[in-house]
Structure 1
């Protein structure tokens, strides 16, 4: 291929080409994980909504036994992990797009990670506690 043809295929501006600036090559990972977690949440959420509707007149012991079932507990744990991961990714995009002060954006990103991780850990431990009967 000729250099002239390659130059026409390069979508960067002359300034970006001169400075060597281009794609950071990380945006597609973030985009894909947002979509994957969204699909997982829809599928697992539908199962959990059906499970909750079936618990309509159940007493506490029956509800605890159903949540403590290994299959139901695994599905609930997967839902919780996907939910908090999806929330972290979504809030990250909002912070990056709308918080323009670098120090505030950095603090908000760290807080986002911390709060989502803490909430996920607390939720997972609660499900494990119910599953083990503690």
Structure 2
């Protein structure tokens, strides 16, 4: 039995003051992905019958390569936020949670760098 009041026992167990920024990041990235996804689907449909030279010429346009880069990075950011939420909510072992969060962050960073270099390599033609 404790001599502390209910308020005293509950202090320090509240919000970490980070949830609102995370919430808004997810919502803004989701809204940002709507037009980018529509653009991506129309681009894939338009490029479905084009050979590598045609795709390379399409990527040579600064607008197309920039929109593709924005799409890839936005998807990765949105996925990062979603996976972080799932890991934090459903992995209960603190060690597994920490390892999972670190692995996910490294994977997202690796994919962001890899995809950016790939897009720029095709766009520039190296």
Q: Would the TM-score normalized by the shorter structure come out above 0.5?
A: yes
Normalised by the size of structure 2, how large is the TM-score? 0.88
Q: Which digits, 9 at most, give the CA deviation of each residue in 1:91-124, with x for residues without a partner?
A: 1011001100000100000011000110111001
Q: Is the 8 A contact 1:68 1:132 kept in 2?
A: yes
49-58 or 79-88: which moved more? Answer: 49-58
Gaps of 5+ in 1: 1-13
Q: Which digits, 9 at most, give the CA deviation of each residue in 1:44-83, with x for residues without a partner?
A: 0100111111123222211111022100000000111111
Residue in structure 2 matched with residue 113 of structure 1 by the alignment: 105
What is the aligned residue count?
Answer: 122
Deviation at 1:37, TM superposition (A): 1.1
Residue in structure 2 matched with residue 58 of structure 1 by the alignment: 50
RMSD: 1.8
Residue in structure 2 matched with residue 130 of structure 1 by the alignment: 122
The runs of 4+ residues in structure 1 deviating greater than 6 Å are: none
**Structure possessing the higher radius of gyration over alpha carbons:** 1
- Is residue 2:91 matched to residue 1:96? no
Gaps of 5+ in 2: 1-5
| 1:68 corresponds to which of 44, 60, 69 | 60
- Is residue 2:42 matched to residue 1:42? no
Normalised by the size of structure 1, how large is the TM-score? 0.83
